[in-house]
Amino acid sequence: MHADITLTVDGRRHQLRVDTRTTLLDALREDLGVTAPKKGCDHGQCGSCTVLLNGRRVVTCLVLAVAGDGAEVVTAAGLAEGGDLHPMQEAFMDHDAFQCGYCTPGQICSAVGMLDEAAAGWPSAATPPRASAEGAVAELDDTEIRERMSGNLCRCGAYAGIVSAIGDAARRTHAAAASGIPRPAREGGRR
C-alpha cells in the first residue's frame, strides 16, 4: 500500500510516493538520495540515523515515513549555512571526534538537538533531582554530555574526542545554556 507525502529535507521540499512500510530513514536514503543519516542497527539502538525532525533529535529508523508526512527534516548535511560549517561540525574536526566517520552525522545532529534541549532547561538522568525540581539548567560537564549522548554509539570508540568537541561547541554556541543561568523549561504539549 502506498501514500503520497511531503517532506522538507535540508530546506528542500519533496513530494514523494512511499510504500507505507518505508521508514523515514529509508525514504531519505533510498528515495531522496540524502545519505547523511546512516543505517547502523535499524532498531533504535545506535543513533547513527539521527536527524532533527521538526527541530527535535530523533532516530529515523523507527519512524514511518508516512507518519512523518509534512515534516521538516534537518540532516547533518543541512546544518552548514552558506558554505560555513556548523560550529558543531567545526568542533568535531578540531577535536578529532571521529575515526571512520560512520556514526558522525548522527552524533552531530544528536549533539545539536541535545544543546537545544539543555538550553530549554531539560534535565537529564545525570541532573540531581533537587536541581531539576528547582528548574536549574544543568551545566554541561562531561558527565552530563555523556549521559545526554548515550543514544549515539561509536564503534571506533572516539568518545573522548566526541565529549570534548561537544563541550567546546556548547561553550561556543550556547554560552547561556552552559553557564548555568536558569531559563524557563519548555512546556510539554501544545499551547
Ligand X SMILES: Cc1cc2nc3c(=O)[nH]c(=O)nc-3n(C[C@H](O)[C@H](O)[C@H](O)COP(=O)(O)OP(=O)(O)OC[C@H]3O[C@@H](n4cnc5c(N)ncnc54)[C@H](O)[C@@H]3O)c2cc1C
Interface residue list for ligand FES (CB under 6 A): 39-42, 44-49, 59, 61, 98-104, 154-156, 158
41 binds, among ligand FES, other proteins, ligand X, none (CB under 5 to 8 A by kind): ligand FES
By a kind-dependent CB cut-off of 5 to 8 A, residue 182 interacts, out of ligand X, ligand FES, other proteins, none, with none
From the list ligand FES, ligand X, other proteins, none, partner contacted by residue 158 (C-beta under 5 to 8 A by kind) = ligand FES
Place of cell 530546506: 11
Q: Is the dihedral of CA 188, 135, 72, 23 positive or negative?
A: negative
Nearer to other proteins, 89 or 152 (CB): 152
CB of 94 to ligand FES, least distance (A): 15
Contact between 13 and other proteins per CB under 8 A:
no
Beta-strand relationship, 72-74 and 2-9: parallel
Q: Which stretch binds other proteins (CB under 8 A): 6-14, 30-38, 54-62, 77-85?
A: 54-62
158 Rama class: left (phi>0) / alpha (psi -120 to 50) / beta: alpha
Task: Provide the minimum distance between the beta carbon of 151 and ligand X in the complex, in angstroms, as a whole number.
Answer: 8
Beta-bridge mates of residue 73: 9, 53
| From ligand FES, other proteins, ligand X, none, interface partner of 40 (C-beta below 5 to 8 A by class) | ligand FES
Cα 66 to its chain centre, rounded Å, is 21
**Residue 6 bridge partners (DSSP):** 15
Distances (CA, A) of 185 to 71, 132, 188: 24, 10, 9
